[in-house]
Structure 1
Amino acid sequence: IPLRSKFSRRFYEPILLEAALKETRPPVFSATQHEPNTMNDNADSAEQSFKCFVNRLAQVCDNIRGGNGATITSIAVLEEPEGIHYIVGANNRKLTELKNVEDYVKQLLKIFSKPIEQPTNTTLPVGREALWHILRFNKQRINYYLTGAVNHLEECIEDYDRRHVEIPLASDALRFRRQLSELKELLAFEKNGELNELHELQFFASCERVFLFIDDNQRLKLGDSISEQAREGKMDSSKPWLELRHFLGRLHSYHIAVKTMLRARRFWDRLWDDIKVTVIPSATAIPHPLNKKRPNASEIIGRMTSAEELLETYRSRAARLQELHLDEKILAECNSSSHTHTVHAEILVLDYVLRYLRDTEDAHFYSSWQYIGTCKPVCRLCNYYFMAHPSRVQVRESSNNLYPHWRVTDVFDESTMAETERHLQAVIVRTRADALRSLMSQTLQGRKYDSNSFSDMPPPFASLRTGTGTPSMSDITSRVSNLKIITEEDDRSAVGEREDE
């Protein structure tokens, strides 16, 4: 059964407003705002090591870039008397692909079940077999990262040589220039026809050499040197360096994934034997619940707060944004036929797991760690939903990115719907505060990339600066009923960029 019409409007309107606000002012990225925020696999506890393992397993299942994140994956690990049960779900994976994913995960876990002597050495037979199995499944995505790395590396080398043509290079600079040259040689296979299916083994071996080079040179501050070039360069020459670091980071992540899983193999023998893998179907994507409505900013704001003394301020700010077509962007956001709403993988897995645990005797989260791993940091709405959910199941940290075309799982009875609306009401409190914060502060929350994350902070509109008498942020948040905001999120901006799908 669908959400009640009035409740659906109450839930989606603040999200619509913030998404439209983002469209009125495209973000500008600076070098210092692109510092990577990658997953830390250097865990200092068994539980954290386990979470890293599940996240990395989910990462290597997200094999197709594009398609609005259709293969973004989440995984839960359950323990049952018969063995270990892996529950795998994705945003919008095709039904015809589910068996292939199941076979892939089973084979990957079977590879790691083999005896290993040096658990973290990815060049030994088990590590190499696992890596090549992963590369075969993720080839489309790997090809994209390789092409991006090659193209941006050429631009970076040209920029570096141009800026240092008359300046003698110090020892560190010479080492960095050699690193770039070596990397270019290692990536030459991308243009030499080795992507052909007939050369698959050469392709895997070439990828492995690139991954090992990146890993070895991280200790020689390759990534830091690339970031330094981005900071030192002019705006038009900074982007290639930032993109190069991103693409190298994504390629390196496959090497790290294998190392993380090898480490988990050393800790937990039980994770690899007597396994069962269930790949659950994705939920059906639906049109925007407000696609037949014609909401505008003034009406949305009026339904978000009853504080008369603030309404005028909020509406005045929104009115000034009409010259940037704010209302038109709101309508475009909810009326486009291409904007279908998707149940995100972590929500899909949570719903399935909780129902499964209710119906299955002696099944529980592995080692009682109530955790759902994801291939990327969770979006803002998923984060708010898990914070409000009484199960207290944990997920990865949030990228704080707002994906407006988000929905909850299908509901089939009135009692479940009432419970769902209670959870969503807690989300509404936060999204209303976010939208008002975005309206008043002219800042955006989130990161450019979810996977190798970069934050953005656009410059304020001088003509829309908060003036004398404008309510402070504490005034705004205090007017939203029962508002509870995590302190570390208060200073972040408000809508994120589309992630690297």
Structure 2
Amino acid sequence: MDEQLQLKIVDLTPALRKQFYPALLLLVCLTGMHPYRRDGLGTAVDFTSGLETLFQGFVSKLAYLCCTEPGGSAVAACAVLQLPDRIQYVFGFNDQSNTASADMKHRITTILRFFRHPLPAVACEKAALHKRALLDVLSFNQGRVKAYLNSLKDHLQKCIAACQREDSIEARSIQVGLTGILERLRTCFGSIPGAGNGLVDALATFSLIEAISQLFRSDMFSLIGARLAREEELKSSTYWSDCIHVAGRLLSYKQAVEMTLLVSYTWPQLFDDFEVRMIPSSSRISDALQGPPLSAETIARKMTSDARLLDRYAEQLQNLSPHNLNSDIKEAWLQNSKPIVHAEILVHHWLENTQGGIRPERFFKRWKFIGSSKPPCKLCSYFFDEYPTDVQVRPSHQNVYFPWRMPDIYEHQGDEAIITRTRVMGRIKTRICADIGRILSERLADGRPHDSSAYTTFAAQQAADLSNNSSITRATTLELDSLAISDEPTDAFSTNEEAAAFSTNEEVDAFSTNEEA
């Protein structure tokens, strides 16, 4: 990769840039002003249902442990490779400095070494190992943990206030439970030397997470679940779902350590002899949007030549005028957000362009999977659908962000790489246009309020304890041949007149057009 930085980059053609990024910006702005088509709760995942599923959960949890600061820049992706004599963990980040990556490499290596054999055989020793590892993880993730604690404090107070307003027997019961959580949370700040510097007490946070785990498994959680359902139905507030979501994010640290402990018994070779490789983040491009801001109507006219669709879009966009769509587009355009290569695609690109490529034998157990600290965004999901690869990633949360781009192509990679990039971006652009047409018709947006996984919410009280002996025995005794996990690819889009209208003629034009914008 360092050598490639000295080579000449092949820029996107002006035509493709002008087709792709204004349409993406319109989709982002439309998504922001429409309600979501589905609720904000993720699907429960039983990571002990099979060895491959367990492994995928472990890889994504490992990436989650590396996402140490709040914000999109810290999003991490991870692949686990089988070298001839050892395991290699490969990490990529949305936007991380080389200095931060070096520190990250040291810390994640330390965490992995907690689980080297020989591992404890008795329950009390396992619990002690789990606690030591979780305390180290919480210290490692001070920045993000502190953000979660502050957010949870705010949402807990709102939920407690709602219980006080309701003033029923059920509400008073919930209020008592949440007040206990809030009191524990307050001990996470200011109880250790140096807390004035903004440090979080890892031991107090450990106790808080244990209390959250008990709450999620208690009968009281069904009462909270009823309020979550009512909140989702009425769409009048979000404090219940926000509270449970951020509590689930904290609980994910406990689950990550439990899963790693389970995996260490299942595949001890993952922890005995390994190395950690950090991939440099991509550079940002500053000229994704060129020229003065375009209106929504102008962008829509560039999406298709179908007269019926153009008339329909004009009418639908006119109905949106009170929402100041064009003002939102102008504001976002002038912000000049600089797209980056997202972590999952960064890792895939590194794999594809290093020795061994994406051949199955390069991956641990031949499982071609890239885990991530958060589910992939809509465009990353589209990339893995459209790019010629069979490497798997997590299901997408379907949220869409403007700062997204494909990896750089260099002259030495030849015409085939350039054509592939152009074709894939053209197909993604077609799907963006189809999404725009669907949002205008349905007045509902894809995605969910939170882009991180929320399976810990409703599933938590039924989920098996990953740290107990029965789960370990179950996972390690399963026959590999019986564990084929069916991962059906996401359809590009339903066949409809919008999709048909976005013809491949524009895609072909992008190959041959080299004029300046």
Q: TM-score if structure 2 supplies the norm length?
A: 0.80
Equivalent residues in 2 for 1:150-229 (5 A)?
Answer: 150-164=153-167, 167=168, 169=169, 176-194=174-192, 196-197=194-195, 203-229=201-227
Distance 1:93 1:195 in 2: 30
Equivalent residues in 2 for 1:278-293 (5 A)?
Answer: 278-293=277-292
Matched residue, 1:266: 265
Q: Which amino acid aligns with 2:128?
A: P
Q: Which amino acid aligns with 1:20?
A: C
> Residue by residue, what CA displacement relative to the aligned partner does 1:333-370 show, whole Å, maximum 9, x if unpaired?
23323x11111000110000111234799960111111
Give 1:76 shift: 0.6
Q: Does 1:13 align with 2:22?
A: yes
Matched residue, 1:475: 497
SS in 1 for 2:82: strand
Q: Does 1:333 align with 2:336?
A: no
Give 1:109 shift: 0.9
Distance 1:21 1:435 in 2: 8
Matched residue, 1:426: 427
Q: Does 1:47 align with 2:52?
A: yes
Matched residue, 2:490: none
Q: Which amino acid aligns with 2:280?
A: P
Distance 1:197 1:324 in 2: 45
Distance 1:329 1:217 in 2: 41
Q: Does 1:130 align with 2:133?
A: yes
Q: Which amino acid aligns with 1:282?
A: S
Residue 116 of structure 2 contacts residue 272 of structure 2 at CA under 8 Å; is this kept in 1?
yes
Q: Does 1:142 align with 2:141?
A: no
> Residue by residue, what CA displacement relative to the aligned partner does 1:251-303 show, whole Å, maximum 9, x if unpaired?
11111111111111111011112211111110011224123354333332222
Q: Which amino acid aligns with 2:256?
A: A
Distance 1:473 1:320 in 2: 26
Give 1:198 shift: 9.2
Q: Which amino acid aligns with 2:260?
A: M
- RMSD of the alignment, in Å? 3.1
Matched residue, 1:491: none
Matched residue, 1:61: 66
Distance 1:174 1:327 in 2: 47
SS in 2 for 1:88: strand
Q: Which amino acid aligns with 1:186?
A: R
Q: Which amino acid aligns with 1:392?
A: D
How many residues end up aligned between the 2 structures? Answer: 454
> Residue by residue, what CA displacement relative to the aligned partner does 1:298-331 show, whole Å, maximum 9, x if unpaired?
3322222222232222223223434433334333
Matched residue, 2:470: none
Distance 1:96 1:367 in 2: 32
Q: Which amino acid aligns with 2:61?
A: R
Identity %: 28
Q: TM-score if structure 1 supplies the norm length?
A: 0.82
Distance 2:288 2:197 in 1: 48
Structure 2: 5+ residue runs without aligned partners?
Answer: 1-9, 456-493, 506-517
Give 1:150 shift: 2.3
Q: Which amino acid aligns with 2:12?
A: L
SS in 2 for 1:87: strand
- Relative to structure 1, is the Cα distance of residues 319 and 237 closer, same or farther in structure 2, using a 3 angstrom cutoff? closer
Q: Does 1:405 align with 2:406?
A: no
- Relative to structure 1, is the Cα distance of residues 321 and 180 closer, same or farther in structure 2, using a 3 angstrom cutoff? closer
Equivalent residues in 2 for 1:293-308 (5 A)?
Answer: 293-308=292-307
Distance 1:412 1:293 in 2: 30
Matched residue, 1:248: 247
Give 1:219 shift: 1.9
Q: Which amino acid aligns with 1:477?
A: A
Residue 77 of structure 1 contacts residue 365 of structure 1 at CA under 8 Å; is this kept in 2?
yes
Matched residue, 1:417: 418
Larger deviation, residues 286-295 vs 234-243? 234-243
Distance 2:54 2:360 in 1: 24
Q: Which amino acid aligns with 1:279?
A: M
Which protein has greater RCO, CA pairs closer than 8 Å, 6+ apart?
2
SS in 2 for 1:112: coil
> Residue by residue, what CA displacement relative to the aligned partner does 1:44-82 show, whole Å, maximum 9, x if unpaired?
11111000000000001000003xx11100001110112
Structure 1: 5+ residue runs without aligned partners?
Answer: 455-471, 484-501
